[in-house]
Chains A and B, each alone.
Chain A
Amino acid sequence: MSVSRRRFLGVAACAVSGVFAAARSPGQSDRRTAVRTALDSSSAGSSCALVDLESDCALPESFAGFERGLVAASAAFEHATAGKIPFARLILVPGAVLRSARTAQTLRDLADDGATVVYESGAAYADSESVTNEQRLLARCFGLRVDAPIDVWRPNRGAAFAPYVHYTWPSSVMIRDFSRVMPVASQHRTFATLGELPVAGCIRIGAGEFIFLGSTLGPHLWSGDQEARTLLEAFVRFPQSA
């Protein structure tokens, strides 16, 4: 008899109870942690998948950065492409532009099944049509509202921001901006700000989590920024330690 992962999780979610005290995403409940632990004990999926969206990756440097960061962190991971994203506890999607509804739905399903999907938007480096499309898909599939990209280094910006993004979760770090950011609507659970501007947020999706990074992290991993590596390592540890 074949049991779908979602069906299995549904049963497991009801069956498992316990105390989980480690790192949680902002506002995360115990229920979700219980589901993930049930999933882990089933040995379903690998610990981490790094997704190359290929032509829908606007910042290949970012993909290279995540790859380099994972290697530096000695984290086990597997490569994936848009056409075949396996289930993993942590799914990293660097420099991405969400153009395809199918990809969006796949990411949604994976999160639903208990994955933590870290989606780093590269849309600020794509054309305006792609930005609009990404906004639409994020809203439709994840209920996430993001604003239009802001060029934080535009000549007349004055001293509006110090050029550092403050992350409060999963690790408290400061990482430089990457010139353009996609702000996250403040009604979401946010965990990073550039000045007063929220630039990263979390949405609970079924048994999992969709994490949106509106300020690019990958290039900082690529150029060896230590705090960027600390943040990535915290993401890697997050699902396992929960």
Chain B
Amino acid sequence: MKKSIGDNMIPHGWTFEQGLELIKKSGYDGVELWLGDTSWFQMTTTDAQVADLLRRVQNAGLVVSNVSTGLHWDSPLSARDPKVRAHARRIVERQLESAQIVKADAVLVVAGLVTAEVPYNEVYQRCVDALQELGPKAEAAKVKIGCENCNSEQRFLLSPREFKTFLKDVNQPWVGLHLDVGNIHDTGFAEQWIEIHGPDITRIHLKDVKKHRGRCGDESVYTNLFLGNNDWRAIRAALQKVNYDGWLIAEMEDRYRFAQDQQFYDTAAAIDRLIQGRL
């Protein structure tokens, strides 16, 4: 398995080059590019500029593990307004195009957002429709779309079997699950998601979760690896069982208040121990 971390973790005020240097120095193999989250990678970034990002990543001795985005929180594929949905689809298309340019074969998509206003049935159907339309584009680009399980934040696809049914309804071989082992909170167990989804997993986000905090408090529910309630031995065993040998991508919500670069080193060391089984 290989280690990666998001470029949105690069401390504020640092340049892309400084961040890449830190990522390399702290022991990662790759970087996850976040469309819309950084000044260097926006919807307006041209193909040539994206190609330049790849050049800079390669110069740092890294590769791009995948292309993610948080833009779908504001423009979900499940929106009622067709103009918003059209924009959401365009975001995915841009992710696919960018992934091709940076030679990555997976993107992360937050598929749908259940709210008090937009109910579950609508969200489900719209996401199925959108992904059925985007699946062939992903296939043409040879880039997998990984729908992330954002259980608590999306209030959508809360169990692994439900997610499996969803992927079955989408019925597109180039659409799978981008599994975040921290996002499951107290709605289940990451190792069970891994077992149920196995080959459908496109990428894995790593973070730990403090289940007792809940999402309603003012503290982040997420924390650094090994500080929370995830059973990392079980997670590792499940990854072995399903022969997952892909990218493990660090995604920390809670940042170090001081010496922010230290979080890169600590997280890389924790992932090494997870990979090596020194738990």
Contacts and interface: CB of A to CB of B under 8 A. Distances in A.
A96 to B, nearest CB: 14
A58 interface: yes
B215 interface: no
Interface in B116-160: 116-119, 121-122, 124-126
Interface string A117-136: 00000000100000000000
Interface residues of B, number: 13
A60 to B, nearest CB: 7
A26 interface: no
B218 interface: no
A155 to B, nearest CB: 11
A204 B23 CA distance: 71
Interface string A201-237: 0000000000000000001001111000000000000
A224 B82 contact: no
Interface size of A as a range = 10 to 19
A222 B116 CA distance: 19
A59 B116 CA distance: 21
A59 B83 CA distance: 10
Interface string B63-92: 000000000000000001111000000000
A179 B117 contact: yes
Given A176-B119, A179-B117, A222 B80 contact: no
Contacts of A60: 82
B236 to A, nearest CB: 40
Given A163-B117, A222-B125, A58 B82 contact: yes
Given A59-B82, A125-B82, A179-B80, A223 B121 contact: yes
Contacts of A222: 125
B2 to A, nearest CB: 40
Nearest to B80: A179
Contacts of A169: none
Nearest to B85: A61
A170 to B, nearest CB: 24
Nearest to A62: B82
A125 B125 CA distance: 20
B155 to A, nearest CB: 16
A161 to B, nearest CB: 12
A8 interface: no
A58 B122 CA distance: 18
9 contacts: A58-B82, A61-B82, A179-B80, A179-B81, A219-B80, A223-B121, A223-B124, A224-B125, A225-B121
Interface of B: 80-83, 116-119, 121-122, 124-126
Given A61-B126, A219-B122, A224-B121, 20 more contacts: A58-B82, A60-B82, A61-B82, A125-B81, A125-B82, A125-B83, A153-B117, A163-B116, A163-B117, A176-B119, A178-B80, A179-B80, A179-B81, A179-B117, A179-B118, A219-B80, A222-B125, A223-B121, A223-B122, A225-B121
